[in-house]
Amino acid sequence: MKNKLANFEKNLEYTFKDKNLLIKALTHTSSSQENNEVLEFLGDSVLNLIVTELLLEKFPNENEGFLSLMRSKLVSRKILNKIANDFKLEEFLILGESFKNQKIPEDLLGNALEAILGSIFLEKGLQPLRKIFKKNFNKEISLLSKSDLKNSKTILQEYCQKNKFNLPTYNQIKKDEKLNSFVVICRLNEDLQSVGQGKNLKCAEQDAAEKLIKEIKIING
């Protein structure tokens, strides 16, 4: 375990003083009662602050609407999962028997990344987090296109209005306790629908809309 933790710290470019805190951040609820759920909750708030600071530094003259949309893109599960993969986080997660011989759901990676953020914040505050994650988020900012800066629900609604379709509906199917996330279905009609998942209803609806947009593009060539 000691070598494994050291390898993750090398990927992260941060060394924990309290190794037990790192172990807790990597431990999913399926494995132990001493898990990363509270650290994830803390990390979610810390993440929003770090990304907000970065955006204000990078775009000092932009309005609140632009900054808010940029932040929502950067803290999305899609981006967090991507950054988690950059750190090879999947190799270090501590999971319960229910995940044995299964492909690890990507959302677990983003959740664990938030827990890592929370744990570093408890040890050293914001400064090391700014250093660690600035490079990752600057890279993601540079990859965002203009079309990315419209949220998926808006894009889908505009598509429906332009093509004289009924507006999409969003309904919560369930709350997935195992993944600590919400599941939502987005419908245009009987044939066009998609299921989205996110840490809250808003994120789940955006995910469902994004998937439906991709499906429409495939159908329309």
Q: Which residues are catalytic?
A: 44, 114
Q: Give CA separation, 208 vs 14, 89, 104, 149, 205, in Å.
A: 35, 25, 20, 17, 5
3 state SS of 23: helix
Q: Which helix (H) or strand (E) holds 146?
A: none
Element (H, E) at 82: helix 77-86
Q: Are 179 and 105 in contact (CB under 8 A)?
A: yes
